[in-house]
């Protein structure tokens, strides 16, 4: 069961004139199929539009904030900022998955937390805001996607960054240990602990071992930063 969209409207700080656009942005194709709705009633067309708006706004942001960066580096940076894991990370901040209209099968197999589903919904939401309020979409993108990029980079590159910190400050090596898994095969959650030498530093959870390792590394970096180890 999805949450009330009025609640999400309050979270994003944007009030829709055309609420049907907002609803459509939350309709996954599995829900449209299950309810025998036409294909165009799901959020895929809005996702297409939102992707283009996001690319334009993020390009402008990088252009102004990196006046000496060459085109190739700008393109590479933009790709990392608006990739599926990055958008899913932003969607998680809004708890976006909980507001989606999903088919029963998609819902039962963990669709609300699936990165491909939530990242697509994030783009569809951008598309809906753009159609409803023009470049209010720009404000939304700046607030929920382009803010705190340094911390997001820390999250996405956490394993590499942790490796560099440990090599510079420790004699011991990093190891990742699977300490638990729960749920059925189609909807598993993995728990992984990071050790530096014998000492445990961070524990992460994720739908894949790789995602759990990434979160565990990120938590470890934050703990090391608290000790002024960078």
CB atoms within 10 A of CB 59: 14
For 58, the token pair is 């993020």
Enter the DSSP assignment of 112. Answer: G
Considering the candidates 44, 106, 107, 123, report the single residue annotated as catalytic: 123
Instruction: Give the torsion sign (CA, 76, 78, 81, 84).
Output: negative
- Is residue 78 within 8 A of residue 162, CB to CB? The reply is no
CA diameter of the chain: 61
| Cα dist from 188 to 25, 47, 112, 142, 206, whole Å | 27, 27, 13, 33, 8
Residue 95 known to be catalytic: no
Distance, in Å, from the CA atom of 213 to the CA atom of 176, rounded to the nearest integer, reads: 7
Specify whether 123 is catalytic.
Answer: yes
- Which conformational region is residue 13 in: left (phi greater than 0), alpha (psi within -120 to 50 degrees), or beta? left
- Which residues are the active-site residues? 51, 123
């Amino acid at each position: 069961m999805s949450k009330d969209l009025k609640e999400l409207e309050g979270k994003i700080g944007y009030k829709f004139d055309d609420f049907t656009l907002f609803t459509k942005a939350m309709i996954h194709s599995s829900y449209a199929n299950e309810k025998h709705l036409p294909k165009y009633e799901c959020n895929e067309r809005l996702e297409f539009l939102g992707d283009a708006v996001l690319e334009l706004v993020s390009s402008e942001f990088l252009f102004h904030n990196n006046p000496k960066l060459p085109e190739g580096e700008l393109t590479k940076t933009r790709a990392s900022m608006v990739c599926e894991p990055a958008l899913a990370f932003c969607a998680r901040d809004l708890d976006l998955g909980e507001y989606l209209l999903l088919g029963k099968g998609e819902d039962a197999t963990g669709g609300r937390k699936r990165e491909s589903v939530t990242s697509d919904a994030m783009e569809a939401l951008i598309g809906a805001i753009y159609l409803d309020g023009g470049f209010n979409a720009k404000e939304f993108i700046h607030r929920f996607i382009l803010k705190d990029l340094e911390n997001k980079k820390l999250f996405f590159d956490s394993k590499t960054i942790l490796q560099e910190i440990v090599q510079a400050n420790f004699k011991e090596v990093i190891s990742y240990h699977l300490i638990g898994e729960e749920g059925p095969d189609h909807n598993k959650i993995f728990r992984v602990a990071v050790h530096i030498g014998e000492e445990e530093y961070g524990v992460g959870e994720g739908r894949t071992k790789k995602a759990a390792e990434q979160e565990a590394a990120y938590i470890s970096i934050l703990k090391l930063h608290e000790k002024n180890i960078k």
